[in-house]
Structure 1
Amino acid sequence: MVDLAALQATFAPDEHSWRAQQVSRDGRRAMALCYITARAVQNRLDDVCGPAGWESSFSETAAGRVIATIAIDMGTRWVSKSDGAGATAMEGEKGGLSGAFKRAAVMWGIGRYLYEFPAVWAECESYERNGKHVWKCWTGAGIGELERALRNLLDRMNNQPTGEPVRVAGRRAQELLPPPNNAGIGLAPAFRQPLVVKELIDGLPKAMLDGRAEQFWTKHWRDVPEMWRPFVMAERDRLKHEAGL
């Protein structure tokens, strides 16, 4: 029997990477997205399931979305879970395969805790292109901010009593590193998400996959409370970035 707890355990700090999601208007800070690589997921599957205890496969929808499936030998039968993504702007088809593979891994709980990560703004260097600031690299101070934020999340996850869910990302504003005043994006208030917000964020990835993101967004957006709209827009941008849209 596969040890699901080991499969879903947090990764070591040095197995996490950071990608700039959005740069502040003055170009001095950026919102960071924490992620793990497909190689880290493969190593986790090898370690927990054994190299012959899991397999992956890929297919493509009519809309060009890549669907990844990860099947694991559970002892008495093989169980498969799937999810998908589009090609990324940077790596094209390879990025789409990697993104879909990692999304399928999340269906198994691998790296799912990263969806609970708070929005982190960190100091960076940038350059101008077409009148906009583009992220260049994290500064030493920015790296320190990111490392502290990651350490805080991992400490919370590893100290959490068994069976009790962790709620961090965007849910407790007082626990987040605040964005700069001129970032143009606020943080969600520190109380339970309205149902319409949860439905919109949870359903948007599938809507993107099915090619009906605009209709889905329009249907739900008008009911999103004003104070939650900056948070929802930031989540939408993150999902679009992951899908390469």
Structure 2
Amino acid sequence: MDISKLTAPLLPADIEWRVQTLIESKDNKPAKMIVVPYINNRSVMERFDEQFGWANWTNEIKEVEGGFLCTITVKLATGEVVSKTDGASRTAIEPVKGGISDAMKRAAVHFGLGRSLYNFPKVFIEVGGKYIPDWATRLLDALVDSINSGKPQRDVIVLKEEHISRLQPPKPQLRVAA
């Protein structure tokens, strides 16, 4: 089964970041946040459309106690049908929509989509506050480009605002349509 479009590197536009942990400043050390990458559900649907065609895959959502199961079923060019299922809990914000999206993203990982995110380095952003600043988003996009280029990465990355001056101007990123 060819799944090359699903397993192709994710572009920065496909990846979103969320704050996992806030670390307060203490002992003359600045405040930091730990951020983690995730693929958004629209990117999941776009990749499945590109790989199989919009009419050759479906998702089925079932509500279970405390969350949702999503089964993604694809029809291969050979006519063979393959299904993968995974689940997720209701989320704290938008419990139904968030739970359904998370279940679908987790099912997509079974097809290889987004699996590379589990190998990303641990990322700290040296900043106070609870939101990812714009300058850090630019650095995170550059990190994704660096990972996609195959450059070796450290296990832990600390991003600081002063690093923004080292960035090259962003290159336009285009996804080739199927």
For residues 43-58 of structure 1, the aligned pairs below 5 Å read: 43-58=46-61
CA distance in 1, matches of 2:47, 2:134: 30
TM-score w.r.t. the length of structure 1 is 0.58
Shift of 1:16: 1.4
SS at match of 2:102: helix
Shift of 1:176: 2.2
Question: Which residue pairs with 1:147 in the alignment?
Answer: 141
CA distance in 2, matches of 1:80, 1:124: 43
* Residues 1:46 and 1:139: Cα distance change in structure 2 (over 3 Å): closer
Question: Which residue pairs with 1:67 in the alignment?
Answer: 69
Please provide the CA RMSD for this pair. 2.3
Aligned AA (2:100): L
SS at match of 1:100: helix
1:112 and 2:112 correspond: no
What do the CA deviations read for 1:195-229 (whole angstroms, capped 9, x no partner)?
A: xxxxxxxxxxxxxxxxxxxxxxxxxxxxxxxxxxx
Q: Residues 11 and 145 of structure 2 are in contact (CA less than 8 Å); yes or no, is this contact kept in structure 1?
A: no
What do the CA deviations read for 1:116-161 (whole angstroms, capped 9, x no partner)?
A: 11110113341xxxxxxxx133252x234323322222122xx8xx
How many aligned residue pairs are there? 155
Structure 1: which 4+ aligned runs deviate by more than 6 Å? none
Query: Which structure 2 segments of 5+ residues have no match?
Result: 161-178
Question: Which residue pairs with 2:24 in the alignment?
Answer: 25
CA distance in 1, matches of 2:54, 2:45: 9
Q: Residues 84 and 100 of structure 1 are in contact (CA less than 8 Å); yes or no, is this contact kept in structure 2?
A: yes
* Residues 1:10 and 1:82: Cα distance change in structure 2 (over 3 Å): same
Structure richer in helix, relative to its length: 1
CA distance in 2, matches of 1:137, 1:114: 19
Instruction: Percent identity, please.
Output: 32
Task: Kindly indicate whether structure 1 or structure 2 has the higher relative contact order, using CA contacts under 8 Å at least 6 residues apart.
Answer: 2
Aligned AA (1:145): L
Question: Which residue pairs with 1:93 in the alignment?
Answer: 96
What do the CA deviations read for 1:51-93 (whole angstroms, capped 9, x no partner)?
A: 11100001122x3221000000022321100000011101111
- Work out which of the residue numbers 131, 137, 156 in structure 2 matches 1:136: 131
CA distance in 1, matches of 2:157, 2:131: 21
SS at match of 2:50: helix
Query: Which structure 1 segments of 5+ residues have no match?
Result: 127-134, 160-167, 181-245
